Amino acid sequence: MRPERGRSALGPALELVHTGRAPTRAVLTAELGVTRATAGAVAAELAALGLITVDSRPAAAPGHQGRPSHGLSVNPDGPVVLAAQVHADGFRAALVGLGGHIVATAPGCMTVPADPAHVLAAVVEEGAELLRATGRTCVGAGLAVPSAVAEPDGEALNPLHLAWPAGAPVRRIFHECLTGSGIEFAAAPRAFTGNDVNLAALAEHRHGAGRGSAHLLCVATGHRGVGGALVLDGRLHTGSAGLALEVGHLTVNPDEGLPCHCGGRGCLDVETDPLALLTAAGRAPGPEVSLLQQARELVRDEYADPAVAAAVALVVDRLGLGLAGLVNILNPDRIILGGLHQVLLAAAPERLRAVVADRSLWGRSGGVPVLECTLDHNSLVGAAELAWQPVLDDPLGVLEG
Amino acid sequence: MRPERGRSALGPALELVHTGRAPTRAVLTAELGVTRATAGAVAAELAALGLITVDSRPAAAPGHQGRPSHGLSVNPDGPVVLAAQVHADGFRAALVGLGGHIVATAPGCMTVPADPAHVLAAVVEEGAELLRATGRTCVGAGLAVPSAVAEPDGEALNPLHLAWPAGAPVRRIFHECLTGSGIEFAAAPRAFTGNDVNLAALAEHRHGAGRGSAHLLCVATGHRGVGGALVLDGRLHTGSAGLALEVGHLTVNPDEGLPCHCGGRGCLDVETDPLALLTAAGRAPGPEVSLLQQARELVRDEYADPAVAAAVALVVDRLGLGLAGLVNILNPDRIILGGLHQVLLAAAPERLRAVVADRSLWGRSGGVPVLECTLDHNSLVGAAELAWQPVLDDPLGVLEG
DNA sequence: CGTATTTTGTTTAGCGTCGGCACAAAGACA
DNA sequence: TGTCTTTGTGCCGACGCTAAACAAAATACG
């Protein structure tokens, strides 16, 4: 007779194990603020659901007297979610377990047709193949797209780099593909969609450089354009209509800025993206590889060239000004940079941090740490987080109710 | 034998009555999502604590069959909090009951010495006098200051208009004045401090134009400088160090902007404050009354003058550009304007709303409503909200535990 | 005018979740 | 080997709620 205790503490406990903050039952007890009896029952319940594993043999910690605690970990053979990412160059599908662990990856595809229904059907087909091959059970699906996403149908509001129609109800289409795919879900099929930078921020918050942050700001450049994301107290802040953190049009070069399609001049978007760096360095962009790739290689291979270093310094100054503006508005406790911005930070960390500190108003918040992303495929893992969320909120409700 | 039920639903229930969202026990039942039995017990408990009153005679609603429900309201003779506001021209103290009702107001003072300890001692003295005169019991105290406020001692980080030392631990001083004042508190004396615009936003969210908003942005100009505030899901967002929404240094006039002390040019601060309007209208500011007062009277009395109308249009355009920038970052579902910005909105509502819509990225969020503040003394009421919060979170814990 | 219907409030019984406590287990330290 | 410290488990009760039945107060309808 399984203990029926701990229903309401079940979700928080699973989240603690999922994010690696509860390596043993003892710290689980402390983190939950409950008695050992409750924590033990909760862990047993989660283990019975197949979500976590409790070590049979306790691991003795050195320099620690008293009875050693049994280790807790995410069940490596447990259920998975289907995670996918669509970007300008193609798409990628994977199965992701708890803990943000990528279990299996599909080869993906390098061309994205204009019709979202065809792309998502292909994504789901690859996911179904992965599920067949691995025999895992699936509890949900998440999709990252390079666009702001609105309620209630997951409309992609500005899929500028995909040649998709603006406003395409991506989540609804994704959901329809899933129901028609023959994939068996543990519960009803749940489809989620989010902006890629938002999801990258969520993944970094749970498993990467953003761990423990209460006010996490993430800014990233992909191939063109700048995206931002804010994770407040562990929850993604997408604004009232999914349009928050559209930070690309902060003015960062008022004097001699390039014109921007938004009508302004000197926007963060056109001043700090890969094309801006290449132009500043006097390089003409080639057609072979992506602009991001060209810019990344320029910094990696030719930073010794004074013209390249000057271009990096220029773009870093613009980026710093934009980040300082965001610091004044959002007052984050940590900033994480991805894409080209991550490359720029790696190339000139002191300069970027100094600009952010100098141009944000109060020195105290100017001391905000600016870090690089540390997670591979963070948008993909973030899409998985979205799909895991109902399980984290109410494990019993999803897997049994 | 009082029913001991409803302890955990007590706080949410009190908040519903406090904000006017639960006029009867029937809607309280629906809003809480509990059974009638629980709602009835909770209401009885709150009434026994002296916080709310239950009408003895039910009020029959027209065109509504079935047994009429008993009305719920905040107890007008219940406990109060001491609320105070300090600004450039003096301070004000008041007693505020639940529901944001101002019970009594002190005459206040029109000069603010440089020493915060003396000001707060005077504030507390006036509060003690009010409590003596009214015989009310006091459950806490809140203070609004024109500065960002940090943890853990309520440090005023930038009290630019008070000639106070930056970083003065205002909440700690306030707390010491309260403990030394002889005021008897229902629980241990609790002192809270917040930024005036933040608190105005909180008050408007609970009792004014911001009711029901989940992503409320508030922007206001006082005598000099611009302040912003964000209320997310009913909670004030002050950032990781109390420095969020320092929106005064968004660039809104890149081409020919005035220099700003922040080092930039054309900041919202110097382009949309009272002095900016007076200057744009070609008026030299006089020394008699405050700049805000002069600007307000200019718009009220001389809007027929084409030069004044042109100045209003100019400043409205700058303000609209700044608000559009904030919309792109925060994606609020409502914007509330106070101070001079409220006057500008009243003078040229179509123009301001059009600029916000045009310059924010996606038309859908460009349709965000822009409204005026509707509450008198909203900073004062917001300071009271801060002091009420522990009671709203756990009524029993504060008043009995 | 009396009865049915609708909606609200109260009483009682019971259930689920968690805390408190006692006890057992497993290693560290002397 | 014995004591101390920390961890895990079983049992009981408290607490906070739901469910269900009953009572009350109005409208709707014949």
Contact criterion met (CB < 8 Å) for A251 and B247: no
The count of C-alpha atoms lying within 13 angstroms of the C-alpha of A208, restricted to the half-sphere facing its C-beta, is 29
- The reported pLDDT for the residue numbered B3 is 39
| Percentage of residues of chain B with pLDDT beyond 70 | 97
- The reported pLDDT for the residue numbered A108 is 82
SS3 A362: coil
Q: Write the pLDDT tens digit of every residue in B328-374.
A: 999 999 999 999 999 999 999 999 999 999 989 876 666 899 999 99
Query: Across the strands, what pairs with B228?
Result: B219
Is any atom of nucleic acid chain D found less than 7 Å from the CB of residue B63? yes
Q: Do B80-198+378-399 and B211-372 have matching folds?
A: yes
- What residues in chain A have their Cβ under 8 A from chain B's Cβ atoms? 148, 150, 157-158, 214-215, 228, 232, 237-247, 249-251, 254-255, 257, 262-266, 325-326, 328-333, 359, 361-362, 364-365
Q: Where residue A3 falls among pLDDT bands split at 50, 70, 90? A: very low
Nearest residue of chain B to residue A243 (CA atoms):
B331
Single-letter code of the amino acid located at A289: V
Instruction: Report which of A247, A241, A242, A251 is spatially closest to residue A226, judged by C-alpha positions.
Output: A247
Residue A104 has pLDDT above 60, yes or no: yes
Which nucleotide in the DNA or RNA is closest to residue A8, CA to C1'? C17
| Percentage of residues of chain B with pLDDT beyond 90 | 82
- The reported pLDDT for the residue numbered B247 is 95
**CATH fit for domain A212-372, picks 3.40.50.720, 3.40.50.620, 3.40.190.100, 3.30.420.40:** 3.30.420.40
Query: Across the strands, what pairs with B81?
Result: B96
Q: Write the pLDDT tens digit of every residue in A62-79.
A: 777 889 999 999 999 999
Contact criterion met (CB < 8 Å) for B157 and A228: no
Angstrom distance (rounded) from CA A369 to CA A360: 13
CB atoms within 10 A of CB B160: 15
Q: B88 or B312: which carries more pLDDT confidence?
A: B312
Single-letter code of the amino acid located at B245: L
Which nucleotide in the DNA or RNA is closest to residue B41, CA to C1'? C10
Contact criterion met (CB < 8 Å) for A255 and B254: yes
Lowest mean pLDDT among A51-60, A342-351, B5-14, B102-111: B5-14
Q: B111 or B217: which carries more pLDDT confidence?
A: B217
Angstrom distance (rounded) from CA B34 to CA B12: 11
Q: A268 or A225: which carries more pLDDT confidence?
A: A268
How confident is the model over B293-313, as a mean pLDDT? 97
Residues 165-184 of B with CB under 7 A from strand D: none
Q: What is the mean pLDDT of chain A?
A: 93
Instruction: Report which of B130, B126, B116 is spatially closest to residue B92, judged by C-alpha positions.
Output: B126
Shortest distance, CA B249 to any CA of chain A (angstroms): 8
Q: Could you give the angle at the alpha carbon of B133 between the alpha carbons of B129 and B134, nearest 5°?
A: 120
Q: B60 or B97: which carries more pLDDT confidence?
A: B97
Q: Are B142 and B385 in contact (CB under 8 A)?
A: yes
Shortest distance, CA B206 to any CA of chain A (angstroms): 18
Which nucleotide in the DNA or RNA is closest to residue B58, CA to C1'? D25
Is any atom of nucleic acid chain C found less than 7 Å from the CB of residue A30? no
Quick one: tokens of B194? 């917040």
Q: Are B181 and B156 in contact (CB under 8 A)?
A: no
- The reported pLDDT for the residue numbered B366 is 62
Is any atom of nucleic acid chain D found less than 7 Å from the CB of residue B12? no
How confident is the model over A202-231, as a mean pLDDT? 95
Lowest mean pLDDT among A1-10, A39-48, B68-77: A1-10
Q: Is the dihedral of CA B294, B295, B301, B306 positive or negative?
A: positive
Q: How far is CA A286 from the centre of its chain?
A: 30
Instruction: Report which of B374, B335, B326 is spatially closest to residue B353, judged by C-alpha positions.
Output: B335
Nearest residue of chain A to residue B242 (CA atoms):
A331
Å between CA of B132 and C1' of D22: 49
Strand D nucleotides within a 7 Å radius of protein CB atoms: 4-11, 15-21, 24-28
Contact criterion met (CB < 8 Å) for A330 and B238: no
Å between CA of A66 and C1' of D3: 12
Is any atom of nucleic acid chain D found less than 7 Å from the CB of residue B2? no
Angstrom distance (rounded) from CA B285 to CA B278: 7
Q: Where residue A151 falls among pLDDT bands split at 50, 70, 90? A: confident
SS (H, E, C) B271-323: HCCHHHHHHHCCCCCCCCCCHHHHHHHHHHHHCCCHHHHHHHHHHHHHHHHHH
- The reported pLDDT for the residue numbered A4 is 41
Instruction: Report which of A108, A106, A224 is spatially closest to residue A160, judged by C-alpha positions.
Output: A224
Is any atom of nucleic acid chain C found less than 7 Å from the CB of residue A16? no
Angstrom distance (rounded) from CA B279 to CA A2: 76
SS3 A103: strand
Q: What is the mean pLDDT of chain B?
A: 93
Shortest distance, CA B328 to any CA of chain A (angstroms): 5
Q: Write the pLDDT tens digit of every residue in B194-208.
A: 999 999 999 999 999
Q: Which fold has domain B211-372?
A: Nucleotidyltransferase; domain 5 (3.30.420)
Q: Which residue has the tokens 């100094």?
A: A354
Determine which of A270, A329, A361, A368 to mutate to test the interface with B (most B C-beta atoms within 10 Å): A329
Residue B6 has pLDDT above 50, yes or no: no
Chain B residues in contact with A317 by the CB 8 A cut-off are none
Angstrom distance (rounded) from CA B323 to CA B357: 10
CB within 8 A of B314, min separation 6: which ones? Answer: B280
How confident is the model over B298-325, as a mean pLDDT? 97
Q: B255 or B376: which carries more pLDDT confidence?
A: B376
Residue A208 has pLDDT above 60, yes or no: yes
Q: Write the pLDDT tens digit of every residue in A81-90.
A: 999 999 988 8
Angstrom distance (rounded) from CA A222 to CA B332: 26
Q: Which residue has the tokens 């005459």?
A: B107
What are the φ/ψ torsions at residue B190 (nearest 5 degrees)? -120, 125
Selecting from B158, B266, B331 the residue whose C-beta is nearest the C-beta of A241 gives B331
Is any atom of nucleic acid chain D found less than 7 Å from the CB of residue A6? no
Chain A residues in contact with B361 by the CB 8 A cut-off are 158, 243, 246, 249, 262
What are the φ/ψ torsions at residue B323 (nearest 5 degrees)? -65, -40
CB within 8 A of B355, min separation 6: which ones? Answer: B316, B317, B319, B320, B321, B323, B324
What are the φ/ψ torsions at residue B149 (nearest 5 degrees)? -125, 130
Residue A61 has pLDDT above 90, yes or no: no
- The reported pLDDT for the residue numbered B81 is 98
- The reported pLDDT for the residue numbered B216 is 98
- The reported pLDDT for the residue numbered A288 is 83
- The reported pLDDT for the residue numbered B63 is 78
If residue B338 lies in a helix (H) or strand (E), which one and from where to where? strand B334-339
Shortest distance, CA A239 to any CA of chain B (angstroms): 5
What Cα–Cα distance (Å) separates residue A344 from each residue in A43, A299, A354, B78?
Answer: 44, 8, 14, 60
What Cα–Cα distance (Å) separates residue A333 from each residue in A325, A346, A371, A378, B240?
Answer: 14, 20, 11, 20, 6
CB within 8 A of A101, min separation 6: which ones? Answer: A74, A76
How confident is the model over A300-311, as a mean pLDDT? 97
Cα diameter, chain A: 73
Å between CA of A60 and C1' of C30: 20
Selecting from A214, A250, A254 the residue whose C-beta is nearest the C-beta of B265 gives A254
How confident is the model over B238-247, as a mean pLDDT? 95
Q: Could you give the angle at the alpha carbon of A201 between the alpha carbons of A200 and A207, nearest 5°?
A: 85
CB within 8 A of A352, min separation 6: which ones? Answer: A316, A319, A320, A323, A344, A345, A370
Q: How far is CA A340 from the centre of its chain?
A: 16
Contact criterion met (CB < 8 Å) for A239 and B325: no
| Strand-pair category, B72-74 with B80-87 | unpaired
Angstrom distance (rounded) from CA A375 to CA A129: 26
Is any atom of nucleic acid chain C found less than 7 Å from the CB of residue A7? yes
What Cα–Cα distance (Å) separates residue B396 from each residue in B4, B10, B51, B187?
Answer: 11, 8, 11, 11
Strand C nucleotides within a 7 Å radius of protein CB atoms: 5-12, 16-22, 25-29
**CATH fit for domain A80-198+378-399, picks 3.30.300.20, 3.30.420.40, 3.10.20.30, 3.90.79.10:** 3.30.420.40
Q: Which fold has domain B7-74?
A: Arc Repressor Mutant, subunit A (1.10.10)
Chain B residues in contact with A158 by the CB 8 A cut-off are 361-362
Rg (CA), chain A: 22
Name the residue ranges covered by the structural domains of chain B: 7-74, 80-198+378-399, 211-372
Contact criterion met (CB < 8 Å) for B254 and A265: yes
Number of H helices, E strands in chain A: 15, 15
Q: Write the pLDDT tens digit of every residue in A269-290.
A: 999 999 999 999 999 998 888 8
Q: A265 or A175: which carries more pLDDT confidence?
A: A175
Question: First CA to last CA across chain B, in angstroms?
Answer: 18
Shortest distance, CA A171 to any CA of chain B (angstroms): 19
Q: Where residue A401 falls among pLDDT bands split at 50, 70, 90? A: low
Cα diameter, chain B: 73
Chain B residues in contact with A249 by the CB 8 A cut-off are 325, 328, 361
Quick one: tokens of B77? 């003779």
Quick one: tokens of B280? 């744009």
DSSP states of B130-164 as a string? Answer: HHHHH---EEEEEEEESS-EETTTTEES--TTTTP
Contact criterion met (CB < 8 Å) for B254 and A250: no
Q: What is the dihedral of CA B84, B87, B89, B90, to 10 degrees?
A: 30
Q: Write the pLDDT tens digit of every residue in B366-391.
A: 689 999 999 999 999 999 999 999 99
Selecting from A254, A262, A329 the residue whose C-beta is nearest the C-beta of B251 gives A254
